[in-house]
Amino acid sequence: MCVAQFDLEQGSIKFDMRYPATVDGEAILEKLQLIAQTMKVELLINQHKLPLYVEQDKDFIRKMQQLDQEFDVCLPIGITKQKIINLV
């Protein structure tokens, strides 16, 4: 989910980001902070919940993997004015 609000004075973008339990969430946050500094914007982390680990043989994981293949889900990236940075 992403919500963007802008007017002539300021703007904000709010989003919910999910990442696998095997990925270092702190490293993602550090990269997001770097992107924010590069773009000269303030990054506010409202809430950071650690991902839940679910065994690979569970139905839920198999269904998610099937959806991932069907919809060709992309890896999260950060976009700056100069380049694209992989967040994972």
Mean pLDDT by 10 residues, the chain (88 residues): 76 81 87 89 85 80 77 51 49
Token duo for residue 34? 């770097």
Q: Is the dihedral of CA 72, 73, 75, 76 positive or negative?
A: positive
Distances (CA, A) of 12 to 16, 24, 33, 88: 14, 26, 15, 24
Token duo for residue 13? 């973008």
| DSSP 8-state assignment for residue 51 | P
Q: pTM score, two decimals?
A: 0.55
